[in-house]
Amino acid sequence: MILKELLGVVKLSDNLFKKVDSNTKIESPGMKYRHYAPNTKCVLVVDNEIEKINRLLDNGDDILVLGFDEDKEYINTDKFLSMGSRKNLNLVSKNLFSNLRKIDSYNCDYAVIEGLEKVNLGLSIMNRLIRACENNVI
């Protein structure tokens, strides 16, 4: 509450979740440049995540899933890397970059990353995931 009293209303950039090109005026380098992202192609899945992920897994590709503990038992794969619990987004955010870097060690065709609501800390986590996935969102 102290920050809110000091800062007042905080406006989020219109480019926060958009793909930006070299001509777009940005507020920070993290909005334009791909960093902390794995070399492996990644797809971010939002809305009906479990259903969409299982459909992708049925295609026969070698896929790693970066997902949440609560959903692991419902996702049909042995290649599951946990981000932690949706109930502890502080820990998810703390380990986000190391988990993204671990993806490459699985030598898979691509990784599917489970999304979350863009609320509170979830907003910044989703921003980083969208950038890491190069705006490949389904």
Fold type of domain 36-132? Rossmann fold (3.40.50)
In this prediction the pTM is 0.79
CA–CA separation, 96 vs 133, rounded Å? 13
How confident is the model at residue 104, as a pLDDT?
97
Residue 105 pLDDT: 97
Collect all residues with Cβ–Cβ distance below 8 Å to 137 and sequence separation of at least 6: 43, 44, 45, 46, 115, 130
Per-residue pLDDT of the chain (138 residues; tens, 9 = 90+): 566 677 776 555 565 555 666 666 665 555 555 567 899 999 999 999 999 999 999 999 999 999 999 999 999 999 999 999 999 999 999 999 999 999 999 999 999 999 999 999 999 999 999 999 999 999
Domain range list for the chain:
36-132
